Amino acid sequence: MRHGFKMLLAASLAAGLSGSAHGAGPQSGPSALGSLSGTVTAPSPFQAAQVFIRNTDNNVLYGVYTAGGRYRAVALIPGTYRVTVKKTGFAADARTVDIRAGATAVLDFEMVEGAPTPAQQPIFGAGAREDLAYVTRDALFPPGPGQDAVRRHCFTCHSESFFGLRQQDEGRWNTTVDNMVGAGYLDAIPQTERAELIGYLTRNYGPDSVRRAVEPDFPLDEDALGRAMYVEYYLPLGPDAAPRRSQEPQIDHEGNVWFTERSDPNMVGVVDPRTGAVTDYPLPDPEGDPHGLTVDADGHVWWAETDGWRLGRLDPATGEMTRYSLTPDDDPELLGRGHTPVLDSEDNVWVSVRDMVRGGTGVTGVFGRGGTGGGVDEPRDGIAKWDRATETVSVYFHPTPGSRPYGMLVDGNDHVWTALSQGCGVARFEPATETWTDFLSPTGNNCQVRRLGVDSAGATVWYGIWSGGGRLGKVDVATGDIVEYDVPMPDAQPYDTWVDGEDRVWISDGGQGGALIRFDPETENWTYYPSPQITDMPKLAIGGNGAIWYCPRSSANAAVGVLYPDMSRITSLEAVRPLEDWR
């Protein structure tokens, strides 16, 4: 039986943006683009100043670094740009420049000593925020009644920097805690202790508090940073100029990048990197909460709903949407939460599924909508398969209660791997035998693993310990041996780990204020690439050209972003599908 219904939706091209998001689009080769270079000087030595180059016509920001006092940016879409320089301890006036196709503009800056330059965040309308203050660690997470309660109950999932970016009243904090308890992230908190916790959060992170963070002191490799370039494509604001919340990127077959949108209303969207054009597709269930997505061989976009308990498919050519219930025919009362979809070699869709119960009305949603939970069974976790040939769903339970599968991949043998977010490890499922094998962190059970990656040979699976230590781990698939490496900065929260075409591991880290980190397994060297915005980046997609795509989920401005580690390799702004399509 097919669990689904169809809905036609017209794609709405974002106001003020031009170009097609579904075809080759305008040419974006070197002759159609421009470049900018120049010098940055100061009265005292400095390293790796950030230069932000914002296109004021189409909401695109380029970010580069100085090396030896010089900077360079390439592949700039022609238009008018506002250019700013940021380096702690210095200030410089903003400048404006016109970039023309096929030409190189020159713009020099002279910094003066002074107060630290505020974070140069672009603003594209009401709702964007840049009121961020850098403070000491004690000012970010001040001592006082309730601090220990927050540390005990909240730090399993969140770091100090998470709270510094929140501004909620007592009612909102109570609702947040209720949602975490209802979703199983927290045990019920005794009333006296809960009152202390809520009081601490309200006093220090209330609606009138200052959004704040500890400015990270990243190790700066000028040689590497001077070759790199960030580009962020900013999304138009939502209804009533409300801020947006992009979650996960995926590259399609036509050079575009798709993303899930978890603000109200829920959507999937697509960015054409050649023009900055954004197309949004509102989902049939505006509160289904699309978490992950993937793109199949036909170019169809699949998403999984955490609150809607559906797997959705969009045909971009027609706008037709189909939703499939994740409840299998042989278990008609089963309900739960979908999470991350991936594809196997036959384009079957596998999804991590969590909090499954029978006999209830679904689990309580963390983001505000859900059912009564409960039911006749304890919540179960596992993975689901949508079979392309039969359009039916099967569910395979993980043997450990509360393991809460999260990120997914399918390896070259069609084995399905998932990160055990509450199980402190990763697991492999072999469809032919329907057997599970767990690979658990040697650190014990007090950690969370969000996502995982695999090398080009399929011999090593990598994962990040997101909470409980800030480590990068690798599993030898043949032997099961595990080795872990400490990320060399405090407050590290490795979220996603993905391996590039040269088998170097890339990590998205939000705990330190926003950075992409490269780890070289041969040399065990770490290279940091601080991001344009303070944010976390919950999912990476590395293209066949080595570009690292991400969504800055908690940033002031919602976007789809990309890091080019070596801008000299850029031949076009179009996105390139991965060489090894593990996801």
CA distance 356 to 335: 5
C-alpha–C-alpha distance, residues 117 and 85, integer Å: 8
pLDDT value at position 364? 40
How much is the pTM?
A: 0.88
CA-wise closest residue to 213 among 247, 163, 262: 163
How far apart (Å, rounded) are the C-alpha atoms in residues 304 and 343? 13
What is the C-alpha separation between 31 and 505, in angstroms, rounded? 33
* CA dist., res. 255 & res. 572, Å (int): 10
Rg (CA), the chain: 23
Measured from the Cβ of residue 518, the count of other Cβ atoms closer than 10 Å reads 20
pLDDT, residue 375, reads 43
**What is the Cα–Cα distance from 158 to 164, expressed in whole angstroms?**
11
Distance CA 364, CA 374 (A): 9
Instruction: Find residue 109's DSSP bridge partners.
Output: 40
Amino acid identity of residue 305, one-letter, is E
CATH fold, domain 136-213, is: Cytochrome Bc1 Complex; Chain D, domain 2 (1.10.760)
CB distance 180 to 366 below 8 Å: yes
Amino acid at 22: H
What residue spans define the domains of the chain?
Answer: 136-213, 261-395
In the DSSP assignment, the letter for residue 188 is P
Tokens of 529: 């690439």
> Is 148 in contact with 141 (CB distance < 8 Å)?
no
Residue 232's alpha-carbon distances to 174, 268, 276, 318, in angstroms, are 35, 18, 9, 28
CA atoms within 13 A on the CB side of 199: 13
What's 261-395's CATH class? mainly beta
* Averages of pLDDT over each 10 residues, the chain, 583 residues: 36 34 55 96 96 92 98 97 93 95 97 65 42 83 95 80 87 91 79 96 95 85 98 87 87 97 92 96 94 96 95 97 97 94 97 88 39 55 97 97 93 96 94 98 84 95 87 97 92 92 93 88 97 90 96 89 97 88 53
Query: Can you read off the two tokens belonging to residue 170?
Result: 């007592």
Residue type at 553 in one-letter notation: R
Predicted pLDDT of residue 372: 38
What pLDDT is attached to residue 536?
87
C-alpha distances (whole Å) from 117 to each of 44, 87, 95, 165, 202 are: 16, 6, 15, 19, 29
What would the two tokens of residue 466 be?
A: 């997101």
User: Rounded to an integer, what distance in angstroms lies between the CA atom of residue 300 and that of residue 268?
Assistant: 12
Q: Which residues partner with 223 through β-bridges? A: none
Backbone angles phi, psi at 446, to 5 degrees: -95, 65
